[in-house]
Copies of this chain bind each other. A is one copy, B any other.
Amino acid sequence: MDHSIAGRLTQTGHELLVRVYFEDTDFSGVVYHARYLQFLERGRSDFLRLKGIGHRELLDGAFGAPMAFAVRRMEIEFLRPARIDDILRVETRTALLGGARVVLDQRILRGEADVLVEARVKVAVISPAGKPMRMPPAVLATLAPEEASVAGA
């Protein structure tokens, strides 16, 4: 299966394929629940990457002051387990965009219609010292899809 290593932008956001390896499973035979958060984070990172925003550049101050994304809140449903050797698809789209945080809706699927995980993730931008910051315009513009509700944070 050929694909771009950073996934691809879609009409509604982004999708990324990830493989389940030994490292992702636990002794119950399926994927360890906290690993799905890593798959989701890969999706978010590659969504930003394809829009021109890298974590290293963010921390080096390429978008104003040095900053990093931090997850503030997550609601996550673990619906069905993934297994070793599975190829999963991580879907990411902006649900709500404010000046100081963005809410993303993410799903992990196997095949076309088998939804394994659903998550709503609130992400903020912080300084290296951990202080909340306003998102720089370039980041705001990147995360604003046509269909997202844009509102004050």
Nearest chain B CB to A105's CB is how many angstroms away? 15
Instruction: Establish whether residues A22 and B27, one from each chain, have CB atoms under 8 Å apart when the complex forms.
Output: yes
Instruction: Establish whether residues A68 and B34, one from each chain, have CB atoms under 8 Å apart when the complex forms.
Output: no
- The number of residues on chain A lying at the interface, defined by a beta carbon within 8 Å of a beta carbon of chain B, is 50
Instruction: Establish whether residues A5 and B19, one from each chain, have CB atoms under 8 Å apart when the complex forms.
Output: yes
Q: Per a CB cutoff under 8 Å, which of B1, B2, B33, B84 touches A37?
A: B33
- A70: chain B residues at CB < 8 Å are 28, 33, 78, 81
Query: In whole angstroms, what is the CA distance A69 to B34 when docked?
Result: 14
- A19: chain B residues at CB < 8 Å are 5-6, 42, 46
Instruction: Establish whether residues B85 and A78, one from each chain, have CB atoms under 8 Å apart when the complex forms.
Output: no
Query: In whole angstroms, what is the CA distance A75 to B71 when docked?
Result: 12
Asked if A49 is at the interface of the complex by the 8 Å CB criterion, the answer is yes
- A46: chain B residues at CB < 8 Å are 19
Asked if A30 is at the interface of the complex by the 8 Å CB criterion, the answer is yes
Given the known interface contacts A28-B128, A41-B22, the answer about A75 and B77 at a Cβ–Cβ threshold of 8 Å is no
- Chain A: residues with CB nearer than 8 A to chain B? 1-6, 17, 19, 21-23, 25-30, 32-35, 37-38, 41-42, 45-46, 49, 54-56, 59, 68, 70-78, 80-81, 83-85, 87, 128, 130
